[in-house]
Structures are given as C-alpha cells and as structure tokens.
Structure 1
C-alpha cells in the first residue's frame, strides 16, 4: 500500500510538473506581430487631477487618484460613464454632452485606472476586479456627496463590460440602473464576433496572444498568477516603443467571466443600446442577452456603428424614456459595501 501511494504521488507530481512546463512554454511565445506600421500617439504625461467645475477627482482605496470630466450642473440624476478600450474620458465628451443635453443628467466621464489622466499603469491592474473596485469607490463617494440623487452606471464597449462585472459583484454600493452602449459581454456571449477580415487574411488592429493566454490560464488553474502582468492583448498603436498592450489581468477584467450569470445577478433596471452596423460586436445578440436580466431591455438601431451609438438620436430618445419611466431611486443596500 505504501508503495502504491508513493507511485501515485510521484505520478501526480510529474503530471503537475509537465502541466507547468507546457504552460511556461506557451507563456514564452512571442507577442503578435503587425505587418503594418503602428499608429503613433503622443506619450502619456504625468497623471494629474485638479478639481474644477468641469473636473472631479476621486481617490481609490489604494491611494490612486482617478480623474473624471463633468458635464452639466448638479442634478438629481448622476450618470457615471466608463469609456472603451484604449480610450479615455476626453474621447467620451461628445457622448456626455449629448446625454446631458437630452436627459438633463449630470454626466461624469471617468478615466479608468491607467487611462487618460488617472493614475496607474496603462493597460495593467494589480488584480482582476480592480476596475470594479475603483468604480465602487467612486460610486460610494457620489452617494455621500449626493445621497438623494439617482446614480446610474453607464459604459461603452469595454466600459460596458466592466459595468456588467460590477453588477455581478455583491460587496459594492448599489446603483439605480445600468446603461450599456454596445457592451463587451465576453468571449462566450452571443455578441462576440469572430472577425471576418482576419479570416480573409486582412490585417486587424487588435491581436490576441492566444498561446500566452492559454499558458496563463493553465498556470492560474494551479494557483500560479505571478506572470499575469504579461501582455496578451496587443494594439497596432505605439508611443514609440512597440505596440501597446493590455496585460492578461487587465484583459480578463474588461468583460464578465460569465455574462449570463452577471446579467442575472442584479435586478436594477438595465438598458442596452447598440447599432445594427456595429463593427466590433454582433448586435443581433443583445436583445437575447438583455432578456436574461430581470429588468433588462435592448434597442438595436439599424445602420449605426460601434461609436455612432453614443450620440445617435434614436438611442438618446430611448435612454430619455427609460430614465423617465423605468429608473427609480433605490435606497442604498445597508451593509452591501465593503471597501
């Protein structure tokens, strides 16, 4: 019996060692290469945040200062708006202006950690879920500053994915509704599009390091996360030192792990708006996704693209009606928030 256990232990150790060896070999795969010259952008300056009538500053639990642009005077409705991948609050300004003009809501466009003029390293977070933790800290502050206001969480693309991840979390401050513009719902969602241009051999501006991703998933399965800061999602954009990228942990923090479970987790009113001509996602899948939510609905506007939905007239009309008829003011859940 002792010999049998010894042999089984040796076999198990050998299998784990082989698993780790294969994983490390995959992790060592080179980053994806682009045939075309990367699009150059200016180097990111030192993150700063100075409070003004148009600017808000929030301090996250780890001391990082997060920057937001404010559109509109204080009102009884506050929309916290999260931008998409490789974007920032400034790029969301037209959407914030349009949303405020249509609804009268105060719109706060947040620079996610590492983006725009918020602190943090670009394209990386300390752990999956840190984006939601930052949102929780901002929402908690908004609740303290305006306890009688409705607070809604909105997001475009990656920002929408982070909002859905937030909805799946229990220990966060409650929001009164979710407004999602063409959200990134994750790899297994019905909205995921496998790029036809890539299948035809055309160059795409975003590439996944699939081998490295698989290797890091394998390491994570045995509790090894020390290499999760390596890049896995690469963009054909450069600040002069090669293509920019998101780390594995940042990439996995951009969308829910299980979109269906996340959509079922919170019954606060939810509205998805997307364009039928969306270049990034298959918009025809959004209505089915919205039906998974207890209080969800979706609008797909024909002929509108991924960014165009942010300022589309039909989408804004639907958002205005939804805010007036479907979104109430919920009492913050006592004891729900644990910083």
Structure 2
C-alpha cells in the first residue's frame, strides 16, 4: 500500500468512526419521555362514537404467514374503498364514514387494522422492516381485487393512513389503485401543511436523526427502538390503542418523499381537510398538492382533524366525489 493510499484509508476509517460515533450518541442520548400536556391538541371526545353496527373483525394472510385483521362494510356498488386508519388507533373509529359510504351504496368498504395496531398485534407499535406496511397493503389489495375483480378500487386513508396511502402510491404497487382519497393526510414533518403549534406526539428527534444516519449506511439493527409517543387521554383508552412507535413503523407509515408520491398519482384524487384541523393548515393543501398532481381539494368548514372521519359534514363531499368518477 502506498503512502497516499494509506492516508486515504486512514482518513476514511477515521471519518467512518466519527460518523458512527455521532449516530450512536444521538440514538442513546435521546431518552424516552412522556408527552407533555402542551401537546394535547386533538378533540378526542369525537372518538366516543356508538359502536353499534361495527362489523366483526375478519383476517387475511400476509406474505409472512401472519393473519392480519380487517372489517368489511358491504354495499351494492362496483366501487371498493380500502380505508386506512391513522396513528395510535385502529379501524374502529372509521365506523361513521365507512358505514355511511356502505349504506348509501357508494362503495364497499374495507378497513384493515394495520400491523402493530389493533386488539392483539404480534408486537404493538412495531413491524419487521420499514416497508412492511406497504407490503401488507399490497397483499390485502390482492385479496380485495380477487373478491371484486370488476370493481374500481380506491385507496384511502386518514392522517398517517393518508401518509401510508402516499407511500403505497409511490411504490411498485401504486398503479394498482384506480383512485386515491386522502383525509387530512400526513405529508411530511417539514411540509408546508404542518401547523407549527399543533401536535399530539412527542418525537425523539435526536434518536430519529441518529437512526436515519445508521440506516443511510445500511445499519438497521436498532430500528426497533421507539422514536415517538402519542398523548391519548386516559378516558378514551381501552387497551387497544398504540401509544408508541418504533423507528421502522414510524418511517413506514409516511411517504419517502411526499412530492414524488403526489407526482406519482395520475388517478383521480380527493383530499379533504377540515378548517378547524389542529394539526394541519387546511388552506395550504391545495397550493402544495397542485404543484405535483391534479386533485379535488375540499375544505370543510368547522371540521377538526378527527372530525374529517366522524363528522357528518364531510359525508356530502365524499358522496359527490364517489359518484362522479367511473372508468
């Protein structure tokens, strides 16, 4: 080895040690903590819905052999909607909107409990690898397609469920959907739609940065570490909530790049946001989304972040859109 080559090798080795040391320090130095009271900004009382008419849970096999849960709302319709829940909860709270769509025969509705969530997940708040939620959704879509071979298939999601819908759209499976419906969707932590003073989550920012650095060089050994906690009041908990996410679940629940994800959607797209959303700036969605794709962006006056799913004021918007498009 020449002196120049030796110097280059030493420089690279020292750089790698420094890089890994910084990443490791960020991961271990960010201690777990409880969400602060100032983070409480969701109208959780809206989750107190009557569970009457809630379909029983069914299961479908994912590619790894695990049985994952979902609910089904039948309808006399040639449209099918797979509707994804947001962070911390599961398919139960989607009942009001799913039941309305079903009973009006606008679409058959499937509401899966995403891996790591629901009544009895294998590991609450964790998955095996970052893109497992997308793979699970692809497996579920395959089953739904098999059951409804001639139907238009819509992928929809609320909040982080909207983020997962976007991640699905930018994946190899994205063109399997005939349309997308996003309800107060999570785009990205630094998107213009984020309200600076609104959050119900406490991220471990240094740990996220450190783990991102490690993943950038192919080290994913620590992706099971928790990186975010959610503040859900005791009075609305029933033991089926998910209050903490691992790095890999948190990453997999959002698009890689919301700009590219939106740009990949060539199908009909509906985006609905309430003007009283405490997490997102409703007026920012149309100018942001219109830069990358065509979409019907509807703002519903007086509706909150959770209300965009449970408030009847949203139903006419969804009804009009579902009736408007066909093949």
TM-score range (shorter-chain normalised) is 0.7 to 0.9
- Which string of whole-angstrom CA distances, capped at 9 and with x for unpartnered residues, describes residues 282-325 of structure 1? 11221123314544120011211001111444432222222222
Q: CA RMSD in A?
A: 2.5
Unaligned runs of 5+ in 1: 40-51, 197-203, 330-339
Structure 1 CA distance for aligned equivalents of residues 131 and 76 of structure 2: 29
Match of 1:130 in 2: 132
Contact 2:106 2:323 in 1 (8 A): no
Match of 1:79 in 2: 81
Secondary structure of 1:80's match?
strand
Structure 1 CA distance for aligned equivalents of residues 301 and 227 of structure 2: 33
Return 70-79 or 259-268, whichever deviates more: 70-79
Contact 1:272 1:290 in 2 (8 A): no
Q: Does 1:229 align with 2:224?
A: yes
Secondary structure of 1:250's match?
helix
Contact 2:88 2:243 in 1 (8 A): no
Match of 1:159 in 2: 161
Structure 2 CA distance for aligned equivalents of residues 71 and 107 of structure 1: 5
2:109 equivalent among 104, 107, 110: 107
Structure 2 CA distance for aligned equivalents of residues 93 and 103 of structure 1: 15
What displacement does 1:140 show? Answer: 0.7
Q: Does 1:186 align with 2:188?
A: yes
Compared CA separation, residues 219 and 146, structure 1 to 2 (3 A):
same
Q: Does 1:268 align with 2:267?
A: yes
Secondary structure of 1:154's match?
strand
What displacement does 1:3 show? Answer: 0.6
Q: May I ask how many residue pairs the two structures share in their alignment?
A: 305
Structure 1 CA distance for aligned equivalents of residues 269 and 120 of structure 2: 27
- Which string of whole-angstrom CA distances, capped at 9 and with x for unpartnered residues, describes residues 126-168 of structure 1? 1111111111111111111110111111110011110011111
Compared CA separation, residues 275 and 57, structure 1 to 2 (3 A):
same
Return 261-270 or 74-83, whichever deviates more: 74-83
Counterparts in 2 of 1:191-270, with a 5 A limit?
A: 191-195=193-197, 205-236=200-231, 244-270=243-269
What displacement does 1:272 show? Answer: 0.3
Q: Does 1:2 align with 2:2?
A: yes
Compared CA separation, residues 68 and 93, structure 1 to 2 (3 A):
same
Match of 1:19 in 2: 19
Secondary structure of 1:28's match?
helix
Contact 2:208 2:227 in 1 (8 A): yes
Contact 1:273 1:299 in 2 (8 A): yes
Structure 2 CA distance for aligned equivalents of residues 309 and 138 of structure 1: 24
Structure 1 CA distance for aligned equivalents of residues 148 and 165 of structure 2: 21
Q: Does 1:31 align with 2:26?
A: no
Structure 2 CA distance for aligned equivalents of residues 302 and 124 of structure 1: 36
Determine which structure has the larger helix proportion and give its number: 2
Q: Does 1:306 align with 2:305?
A: yes
Structure 1 CA distance for aligned equivalents of residues 36 and 157 of structure 2: 32
Compared CA separation, residues 270 and 103, structure 1 to 2 (3 A):
farther
Counterparts in 2 of 1:89-104, with a 5 A limit?
A: 89-104=91-106
What displacement does 1:268 show? Answer: 1.0
Unaligned runs of 5+ in 2: 41-53
Secondary structure of 1:306's match?
coil
Q: Which has the higher contact order (CA 8 A, sep 6+)?
A: 2
Contact 1:65 1:118 in 2 (8 A): no
Secondary structure of 2:176's match?
coil
Could you state the TM-score of these two structures normalised by the residue count of structure 1? 0.83
Q: Does 1:150 align with 2:157?
A: no
- Which string of whole-angstrom CA distances, capped at 9 and with x for unpartnered residues, describes residues 102-145 of structure 1? 45321111111121146432111111111111111111111111
Return 26-35 or 300-309, whichever deviates more: 26-35
What displacement does 1:5 show? Answer: 1.3
